[in-house]
Amino acid sequence: MLIRFNKPYGVLSQFTPEGRWRGLKDFIDLPGVYVAGRLDADSEGLLLLTDDGQMQARIADPRFKMEKTYLVQVEGVVDDKALAELSRGVTLNDGPTLPARARAMAPPASLWPRDPPIRERQSIPTSWLELVIREGRNRQVRRMTAAVGLPTLRLIRTAVGPYNLDDLSTGSWKVITA
């Protein structure tokens, strides 16, 4: 069994809540399923869960380099220089990243509101980009955008390999049928 879950902001990639963060048990009440890959509590979007250990390894293990697609709202204006740097790969404190696919984009039209809303400063514009990576380092997308001078304000994973959010509303889940 494979489950697509649209993880809201403030929810951990584990069933047990911790501190101010909620757990998956608030949304998914199925015994025997486990998270395949993680998504930080302050990130939103596609989280996959499965009851199949081999499938979990194929999805989560960095050796398989499964592509992950993110929509990223950043502070500042996405320009060609930043996109070129992201596309080549940037050097982080734990070494260089693999090249990414990066493109500027218009704000997504059918996006759910975030609760709580992001902080916005009147003197600094925000913009959006799509970033596709094949790694899964800790807070990698946030660190990559910061490295090119564009701090992340909102991060939404829309796809992992062939699996995507489609029309899944925030906080809801669906079993993927083969």
Does pLDDT of 153 surpass 70? Answer: yes
Contacts for 16 with CB less than 8 Å, ≥ 6 apart: 23, 25
Looking at residues 139-150, what average pLDDT do you find?
A: 97
pLDDT digits (tens, 9 = 90+) for 12-30: 999 999 999 999 999 998 8
Q: Are 55 and 136 in the same domain?
A: no
State the pTM of this model. 0.95
Q: Are 153 and 168 in the same domain?
A: no
Q: Are 174 and 117 in the same domain?
A: no
Q: Determine the structural domain holding residue 10 and report its residue range.
A: 1-62+162-178
Residue of 26, 40, 61, 166 with catalytic role: 40
Q: Are 123 and 88 in the same domain?
A: yes
Active site residue 40: yes
Q: 3-state class of 46 per DSSP?
A: strand
Q: What is the pLDDT of residue 140?
A: 95
Closest among 12, 19, 14 to 42, alpha carbons compared: 12
- What CATH number has the domain bearing residue 10? 3.30.70.580
- What is the domain count for the chain? 2
Q: Are 101 and 88 in the same domain?
A: yes
